[in-house]
Amino acid sequence: MASTILIADDEPHILALLRAALRGLDTLEASDGDTALAMIREHKPAVVVIDAGMPGLDGYEVTQAVRADGGEQPHILMLTAAGRDVDRALATQAGVDEFITKPFSPSALRRRVEELASA
Amino acid sequence: MKAAAIPDNETERLAALRSYEILDTSMSDQEYDDLVRLAAAICGTSMAVINFVDSDRQWGKAMYGLGSTEAPREASFCAHTILGADVFEVPDTHEDERFADNPQVTEIPHLRFYAGAPVVDEDGFALGSICAVDTVPRSLDELQREALMRLARQVGAQLALRRANARLRELDKLKDQFVSLVSHELRTPITSITGFVELLSGEQLDDTQMEYLAIVSLNAERLLLLVDDLLTLAQIETEGMRVTREPTDLGQLVRRSAAGLGPLAEKAGLSFDCAVPDEPVQVVGDPLRLAQLLDNLVGNAVKYTKAGGVRVTLERNGRSATVTIDDDGIGIPADEQAKLFTRFFRASTATDAGVRGSGLGLAITKAIAEAHGGSIAVESAVGRGTTVRVVLPA
């Protein structure tokens, strides 16, 4: 059974890039944190690729809420603009599993997501 | 007791005083201390003070021979001084109905003599005074009065410097925040460009299309390097270079850097040699930053060498590890070598050769070396080549 992947970014062009990178995989999309959280709760994706900074709930807050829900947990990859230590400490605390620093290689991201989705 | 009148421009005067952010600051500023000591010495008094006249009090920034820092404004002698343009002098407070029952006269510090010169700022606001005071009656001669006025002007000059410094610091902080914001915001559009270029390269393209795409890709990379350098530099300026401390094999990092840049050298027709000991060379540091340091230095060697070669060696000597990057490049003039690690500085040989660069790489490289407790040294001769040595504690 194919696992679902949720991608969430408020930047339409980054969302388009994520969509293109993961073409052919079973993906869901959200362009803000509140929608992302609702979709994660409803569809239980195996992998979440989420931007750190979004209006409304940001990537950290969505992660925190998902982790607080308990139950079956997705693997959460966070997109960050700069590999700053502060951001990482915050995100790790919130429950983020891995980071992808912008700019990222779409093919490398696809390999990693496929690995996680089939695990 | 007769309190001093309130100046006509009191609202503006108080706003000016606040703008210096000097009230309730430390009382151990050497510059102000020197001035009160001079005032006492010149006027021959046992005490001297620099007071600022606030809305309801006077506050002492510097004192000599005196303890208290504050007095109510009604009892302030200096509140009288700021009303005039010249020295305000009270030869004997006991003989002056305005001050005979003033608590500063009847109680500690028992002021008998007062002479104050108004401290006027660059916009003409009388903010306070520098005054020489004593417990016995006195009077100043013409030279002493003039000297006290000159000291008051020095206090005004100190205030101007203080405000100018604060503004510069503020501007510098804004500049760093700006650079950091811009660099941060630039990464998102660059992500779109490099991401879609990569996806497009996987499509069926003809040679011309591939060539164009390679140019876009190369320029996006260049833009990203510049943004990264600016961000790193802004970070160094605001919070200092921050490095993680983890056991790291320097040998592996050197090999990796050589593997990345060696092919570039060979493509440019240069020889490229890398000598690294077989056993690990352990250092404690930040592997990402150390890789950045190596890439910068090896990259420079390749970039600025037109013929001949580049040699990278790693040696361990006792408690230190030395990376040497030696090239047959264009070299750096002797009189420019000291400035080499200054940000935005580029050697004339580099600009003359038309090689592009931001002038940020070496400033960052030096900061990385120093953050690891290491050092970096350059030897170079124009037309002969450059040798850079980085020594890190191992």
Higher pLDDT, B227 or A61: A61
Residues facing residue B73 across a β-bridge: none
Average pLDDT, chain B: 92
Give the nearest partner residue to A103 out of B183, B224, B288, using CB atoms.
B224
B contact test, residue of A13, A22, A80, A99 with most B CBs within 10 A: A13
User: Residue A82 has what pLDDT?
Assistant: 64
> Which of B128, B115, B155 has its CA nearest to residue B35?
B155
Question: Number of Cβ pairs closer than 8 Å across A and B?
Answer: 51
A contact test, residue of B181, B193, B199 with most A CBs within 10 A: B199
pLDDT tens digit sequence for B278-332 = 999 999 999 989 999 999 999 999 999 999 999 999 999 889 999 999 999 999 9
- As a whole-number percent, the residues of chain B with pLDDT over 90 amount to 76
Q: Which chain B residue's Cα is nearest to A11?
A: B188
Residue B144 pLDDT grade (very low, low, confident, very high; cuts 50, 70, 90): very high
For residue A107, the distance in angstroms to the closest alpha carbon of chain B comes to 8
Residue A32 pLDDT grade (very low, low, confident, very high; cuts 50, 70, 90): very high
User: Residue B314 has what pLDDT?
Assistant: 97
A92 pLDDT more than 80: yes
> Which of B104, B101, B105, B99 has its CA nearest to residue B80?
B99
- Asked if the Cβ–Cβ distance from B202 to A107 is below 8 Å, we say yes
Taking the CA atoms of chain B, what radius of gyration do you get in angstroms?
Answer: 33
- Asked if the Cβ–Cβ distance from B199 to A21 is below 8 Å, we say yes
Q: Is B327 helix (H, G, I), strand (E, B) or coil?
A: strand
How many other C-beta atoms lie within 10 A of the C-beta of residue A110? Answer: 18
Residue A67 pLDDT grade (very low, low, confident, very high; cuts 50, 70, 90): very high
- Asked if the Cβ–Cβ distance from B191 to A107 is below 8 Å, we say no
- As a whole-number percent, the residues of chain A with pLDDT over 90 amount to 72
User: Residue B1 has what pLDDT?
Assistant: 81
Residue B218 pLDDT grade (very low, low, confident, very high; cuts 50, 70, 90): confident
B contact test, residue of A14, A17, A22, A87 with most B CBs within 10 A: A17
Between CA B65 and CA B83 the distance in angstroms is 26
A21 pLDDT more than 50: yes
Residue B187 pLDDT grade (very low, low, confident, very high; cuts 50, 70, 90): confident
Average pLDDT, chain A: 90
- As a whole-number percent, the residues of chain B with pLDDT over 70 amount to 100
- Asked if the Cβ–Cβ distance from B195 to A107 is below 8 Å, we say no
Give pTM, 2 decimals. Answer: 0.61
User: Residue B2 has what pLDDT?
Assistant: 86
Across chain B, where does the E strand assignment appear? 47-53, 57-64, 70-72, 88-90, 113-120, 126-134, 246-249, 271-275, 282-285, 309-317, 320-327, 375-381, 385-393
Contact residues for B206 (Cβ-Cβ < 8 A; gap 6+)? none
Query: Are the C-beta atoms of B296 and B232 separated by less than 8 Å?
Result: no
CA B227 to chain CA mean position, Å: 21
Least confident of B78-82, B242-246, B278-282, B308-312: B242-246
Between CA B159 and CA B34 the distance in angstroms is 15
Give the nearest partner residue to A17 out of B183, B196, B288, using CB atoms.
B196
B113 pLDDT more than 70: yes
* Mean of pLDDT values over B268-280: 94
pLDDT tens digit sequence for B330-373 = 999 999 998 999 888 899 998 888 887 888 899 999 999 999 99
Across B145-241, where does the E strand assignment appear? none
What are the tokens at B90? 């009270």
* Mean of pLDDT values over B141-152: 97
User: Residue A2 has what pLDDT?
Assistant: 57
Residue B117 class from Cβ within 10 Å (0-12 exposed, 13-18 middle, 19+ buried)? buried
Residue A1 pLDDT grade (very low, low, confident, very high; cuts 50, 70, 90): very low
B117 pLDDT more than 60: yes
For residue B223, the distance in angstroms to the closest alpha carbon of chain A comes to 12
User: Residue A86 has what pLDDT?
Assistant: 60
* Mean of pLDDT values over A50-65: 92
